[in-house]
Structure 1
Amino acid sequence: MSYLKFDKSLMINLEQSLPKEMLRTNKSGAYHCTTIVDCNTRKQHGLLVIPIPELDNDNHVLLSSLDETVIQHGAPFNLGLHKYQGDCYSPNGHKYIREFNCESVPQTVYRVGGVILTKEKVFISHENRILIKYTLVDAHSETTLQFRPFLAFRNANSLCIENDQIDKSYEIAENGISCCLYPGYPRLYMQFNKQVSFTYQPNWNKGIEYIKDQERGFEYKEDLYVPGYFELPIKKGESIIFSAGVGEIKPRSLASMYNKEIGMRTCRTSFFNCLKNSAQQFYLKRGKDNYLLAGYPWFKVRARDSFIALPGCTLAIGDQNMFESIMNTAEKALKHFMATGESDAVIQEIDTPDTLLWCIWALQQYAKETSLNTCTAKYGKFIESIIEYIRKGKHPNLFLHENGLLYSNGKEKVISWMNSARYGHPIIPRSGYLVEFNALWYNALRFAASIDADEAHDVKADILNELADKCAISFKDMFLNDCGYLYDYVDGNYADWSVRPNMLFALSLDYSPLDKKERKIALEVVTRELLTPKGIRTLSPKSHGYNPTYVGSQEERENAYHQGTSRPWLMGAYTDAYLKVFGFSGVSFLERMLIGFEEEMSNNCIGSISELFDGNPPFTGRGAISFAANVGEILRVLNLLKKYNHI
């Protein structure tokens, strides 16, 4: 099966091609993102988008796009594409596209009369540099290429408007130029691997529109600065490489740099390889520290998301070293938080009450992939310190009560992964005893006890098991209702009857406070009311407030965010729960449920999985175009099913 290959009929149909986006990253925070027809539809799109820590904690678009023009017999054929007011697209370069293929690197094939030109894009690992290789496959007469860079030099979440603060000057670089439009930004070097002429012709290209931002109710018009154009001849069979980066480079090294980067690529010719490639795009290296980004194009490093995504994005693709590197960075940050109460400069939301519990869950997956002894040797003391920190009530919003359960205050501030808010207040005020917090807590106690279960630590293990026993009794009394499923949260005399997916963790974790019969009944409710081809709904259609479609203004989207939309990452917990109840006989059913995700490889962000999906057919992908927890958990599901098939 060809996952990421699209023919002429789709490419020239903007209704079909514009919704498909592609993403490349350098694993250090920078990225290139656009549609498969190279028409930017979001303000976050760009050829070179990089973090600039000296300015802020956001990404910045330096080079928005590069318009190519093929010239033959003095006639120009512009291959660019931009949207302007009134659904006007210009200069309609997509009509020359004959094929787009992204199985190795993004490759576009153009045909202009007798000219066949290919374009391939590569982002250099751990360097703020993108290379674009143009190859003239066929031509019957002399051919010239012209390139117009569209510059932004702005925050990726803002827009650029024509202004007189811009610095229009440029400096000559070897086979190119460099420029810097505003103070505080690095210089952008645009160079070629052969001699090129540059014509200074400064111009503002006004009124470019981004349809995705318009759909989301945000500002969507911008002006981009074009300093002039590059021009050079190209012969049949010749390849030309363009480089855009924040440092000057020797043009003669571009070909070897391009080939070296190509050799490091995972060919995306299967479902697994697509997800593996996507998982590695979330890796973030800052100095000696390694992190996992929550998603693209706007998410940063978020503590809970990192721990949920980490096992799948590393262990499930055979990268134990990366798991350890990312976990070691997180361990330092968590230890500092537990000692001082201070947040981390890079890892956001480290103070949320369930972060520590998800950290232990991630380490539990590590123990299963390596061994309990290996996990104990590396992280045993760390796990013990987390348990003691919680037991002694040191967390500012996680309280261990006499009944053995954990209590958190979520009335004024979001505290769980269901974090939609309006004016800073939770739309879903989950507060008190949260079902997944306490399922994770019970699991953490039993897991920590198993680590301490040797002669030297028998007393510690006994204490933890005794607390877990108390927790299990209270858990059933607190959450298990007469309908056979679990309350979502309980606070005082109020019990939330909404059918939500958070109960899944009491069914899926290695240690559950419920017996098999209780888990089976609750799982039937989840399957009947929450399961979709694109994940698990955040709320049952039978529950009050069901709102499955994530569209409209920001307020409308926030209201729908956790009120019925489907989340792919919850398939990890669903798979664990299903296999614990049905064993090997459940494998074929779960494999069929993955078909919906395999279809997504050629939708939305090709080769990856969107943040969320509508809860009703046709289950359209929405939100961030590539989400780490979704990719990681589907990879973990694939790995788990593979093991079952080899039993």
Structure 2
Amino acid sequence: MIFGKSHWITPDQGIKKEWLITNGIGGFACGTIIGMNARRYHGLLIASLNPPTERFLVMSSVSECVLVNGEKHLLHTFKTPDFFAHGEYYLEAFRYDFIPEFYYRIESMRIEKRICLRNRKNQVAVVYRIINPVTCRIQLAPLINFRDYHGLSVSGSLNFSTEIRDREIIITPGNTDRKIFVACSDGKAVESNCFFYNMDYPYEHERGFDGTEDHYMPGYFDIPVSEGEEKTITLICSFDEPVDITDGEFIIAEEIKRQKALLPGFDGDEFLRRLVLAADKFIVERNSTNSKTVIAGYPWFTDWGRDTMISLTGLTLVTKRYGDARDILYTFAKYEKDGLIPNLFPDEKNEPAYNTVDAALWFFEAVYKYLRYTGDMKFVKEELLTVLKRIFKAYREGTVFNIKMDDDFLIYAGNEHTQLTWMDAKVDDWVVTPRHGKAVEINALWYNAAMVMSYIFEQIGENNADYSALAEEIRKSFIKLFWNANKGCLYDVVNEKGKDDKIRPNQILAVSLSFPVLDGELAKSVVDTVYRKLYTAYGLRSLSSDDPEYKGIYIGDRYQRDGAYHQGTVWVWPLGQFITAYARVYRNDKSLSEKLKAFFIPFHDHLRDACIGNISEIFDGNEPLIARGCFAQAWSVAEILRAYAEDYLPLVDP
């Protein structure tokens, strides 16, 4: 994917497209196509100190200065409150395939810059190739930091000691013995020991936060270039590990080889290929289990149980990464507690949080999908079945957060002060979307879980009658309680206040799960209502736009954003479930393949927008559906990939 100057006529336009690369252990690098850092999360090396968490900004950027005949040409684009450096004026093109590549021109001299992380290492390589050079000097100054990636630094808080060697700068952050190594393949290191003040981040101001910080500049690498001397220069930044290689071309070749190894069987379909490569960015190592997990979204989420279970099919099974799927299921099974699996693993060294009612129920769906793709009943029986039994028993008999099967066989959860479903926005004591009681998707998942248990017991030759009988009781109660005959769809939640008839996307799970609790005309009516009331090009609105509480724009401070998060904001992941439900109820439509194809067309364009090659978390509910939230979200990628592979491709390539 190649972008030219028409995409950065103004800097504001240029920062609308971002790039992301990852290292498989929770670390990452990201920025904009004009090379300007516009978020506190942008940087060339955000290292994971305890994979995949404890992420720290280590190197923000590299300030590149080219001196030709005494004239300075600054390739670095940046903004401070009172100054704008337009390095993008020299930028001719930005290219993204496996890694980001920048193409600059200074008169007749071209400079190509590529950025690459080393897999499973907190190391980044920035590789410059000088073509058609004139006599000049290139000075590369790394902007160093050492702060939590959610934070901001001021010069007074940046305390470093620095050692300058011939082609290496070694920085030790204060109050630690951990080291940052910056090495260059050419030139000589020169000490500067100064600060870059007031780098300004427009996206932070947009989100209602402070957005200005300082970085440490320990020195720079001074590299002479003679006329006609084409050369490649590699700058390496490494955290906690001395630099062992400064051959940037080799590092890039190894990473591209690794990514290409993910693609056999997917090369014939460019859309599918892009999604498979996007999926790779979310699958990472977790130290605490010596196993795999899923980063819910970049740039600010860690691994969340609900997101992981929803994402597992698309990220690992569709992509044929069955070993990773097994590892992920093992990781979360290991952390089961009181019949729940973690809602999230925090960045800090704390116990995971368990405040979720649906993550454990999605676990059943993930296990069932794993079985359908792999047939690996041995692993499920030996490693997961005991956990599945504990979860099911806990929901049936009662567990923490007031989660319990009621007399009508349906699950009740929470109270007015909790937010246990995926619509979980809470600001201080304000639960924005209160859904305690019997939520529609929770009970669709509960029925699905009973059917999954019945299936497993049948497959291993044990009596499944208890589970199948319970499933039937759940189904009958579900239809009786949730069916809204006036609107031809399902109530969203039922509790002591009554039946909430707000039209939300949660009801689609009653038709889309592996074992749908609805079928026939009821299922078709739900799909048609959701299509008519909630569908947009990029996902389903979280609340119908004709509802008086609808919020169509997700922007502003925390109160404004969280107030809109599930009150109209468009979410991508339910669209995957909707596509599956649509394909199910219209399976006899002779033009079904063309109708399904139309659902994916907008994402061909979106892969060239926001975070290039990825899919955003959310969009405004109002047109023109501006991308918001995390610029790369696991379940967004996973659900579009899953629905494309499971529902659309079999129709066009049976």
Is the shorter-chain TM-score for this pair beyond 0.5, marking a shared fold? Answer: yes
Aligned: 1:330 with 2:325: no
Equivalent-residue separation in structure 1 for 2:98 and 2:256 (angstroms): 8
Aligned: 1:240 with 2:233: yes
Equivalent-residue separation in structure 2 for 1:452 and 1:16 (angstroms): 56
1:472-493, Cα deviation, whole Å (9 max, x unpaired): 1111111001221100000025
Equivalent-residue separation in structure 2 for 1:82 and 1:174 (angstroms): 29
Equivalent-residue separation in structure 2 for 1:412 and 1:157 (angstroms): 27
Q: TM-score if structure 1 supplies the norm length?
A: 0.93
- Change over 3 Å in CA distance of 1:346–1:637 after alignment to 2: farther
Aligned: 1:83 with 2:75: no
Cα distance, 1:81 vs structure 2 = 1.1
Equivalent-residue separation in structure 2 for 1:341 and 1:578 (angstroms): 31
Equivalent-residue separation in structure 1 for 2:308 and 2:32 (angstroms): 27
Equivalent-residue separation in structure 2 for 1:399 and 1:540 (angstroms): 30
Q: Unaligned stretches of 5+ in structure 1? A: none
Aligned: 1:566 with 2:570: yes
On the 8 A contact 2:165/2:189 being kept in 1, the answer is: no
On the 8 A contact 1:400/1:406 being kept in 2, the answer is: yes
Equivalent-residue separation in structure 2 for 1:254 and 1:178 (angstroms): 19
Equivalent-residue separation in structure 2 for 1:339 and 1:481 (angstroms): 31
4+ residue segments displaced more than 6 Å:
339-347
Paired residue type of 2:230: G
Paired residue type of 1:467: L
On the 8 A contact 1:21/1:36 being kept in 2, the answer is: yes
On the 8 A contact 1:276/1:313 being kept in 2, the answer is: yes
Cα distance, 1:102 vs structure 2 = 0.7
Equivalent-residue separation in structure 2 for 1:464 and 1:475 (angstroms): 16
Equivalent-residue separation in structure 2 for 1:601 and 1:185 (angstroms): 42
Say how many residue pairs are matched.
635
Residue of structure 2 equivalent to 1:204: 195
Cα distance, 1:10 vs structure 2 = 2.1
Match of 2:303 among 296, 301, 304: 301
1:15-30 to structure 2, matched below 5 A, reads: 15-30=12-27
Paired residue type of 1:186: R
Cα distance, 1:277 vs structure 2 = 1.7
Match of 2:413 among 408, 416, 437: 408
Residue of structure 2 equivalent to 1:636: 642
On the 8 A contact 2:306/2:343 being kept in 1, the answer is: no
* Local SS of the residue matching 2:113: strand
CA RMSD of aligned residues (A): 2.4
1:22-78, Cα deviation, whole Å (9 max, x unpaired): 111101011111111110011111111112349x95421111110111222232211
1:283-294 to structure 2, matched below 5 A, reads: 283-287=283-287, 288-294=290-296
* Local SS of the residue matching 2:255: helix
* Local SS of the residue matching 1:517: helix
Paired residue type of 2:569: T
Residue of structure 2 equivalent to 1:274: 274
Cα distance, 1:275 vs structure 2 = 1.8
Paired residue type of 2:142: P
On the 8 A contact 2:64/2:75 being kept in 1, the answer is: yes
Equivalent-residue separation in structure 2 for 1:250 and 1:213 (angstroms): 36
On the 8 A contact 1:12/1:95 being kept in 2, the answer is: no
Equivalent-residue separation in structure 1 for 2:364 and 2:357 (angstroms): 13
On the 8 A contact 1:414/1:425 being kept in 2, the answer is: no
Residue of structure 1 equivalent to 2:613: 607
Paired residue type of 1:360: F
On the 8 A contact 2:394/2:404 being kept in 1, the answer is: no
1:335-484 to structure 2, matched below 5 A, reads: 336-338=337-339, 348-371=352-375, 373=377, 377=381, 379-453=384-458, 456-458=461-463, 461-482=464-485, 483-484=487-488
On the 8 A contact 2:169/2:219 being kept in 1, the answer is: no
- Change over 3 Å in CA distance of 1:397–1:325 after alignment to 2: same
Match of 1:257 among 251, 254, 269: 251
1:4-23 to structure 2, matched below 5 A, reads: 4-23=1-20
Aligned: 1:145 with 2:152: no
Aligned: 1:222 with 2:216: no
On the 8 A contact 2:182/2:243 being kept in 1, the answer is: no
* Local SS of the residue matching 2:402: coil
Aligned: 1:170 with 2:162: yes
Equivalent-residue separation in structure 2 for 1:488 and 1:347 (angstroms): 32
Equivalent-residue separation in structure 1 for 2:248 and 2:76 (angstroms): 24
- Change over 3 Å in CA distance of 1:420–1:298 after alignment to 2: same
Residue of structure 2 equivalent to 1:32: 29
On the 8 A contact 2:338/2:391 being kept in 1, the answer is: no
Cα distance, 1:253 vs structure 2 = 5.4
Paired residue type of 1:276: V
Cα distance, 1:116 vs structure 2 = 0.6
Q: Unaligned stretches of 5+ in structure 2? A: none
Paired residue type of 1:68: E
Q: Give the share of equivalent positions with the same residue, in percent.
A: 28
On the 8 A contact 2:166/2:189 being kept in 1, the answer is: no
- Change over 3 Å in CA distance of 1:578–1:220 after alignment to 2: same
On the 8 A contact 2:63/2:76 being kept in 1, the answer is: yes
Paired residue type of 1:289: S
* Local SS of the residue matching 2:259: coil
- Change over 3 Å in CA distance of 1:454–1:133 after alignment to 2: closer
Residue of structure 1 equivalent to 2:542: 538
* Local SS of the residue matching 2:141: strand
- Change over 3 Å in CA distance of 1:134–1:395 after alignment to 2: same
Cα distance, 1:255 vs structure 2 = 4.5
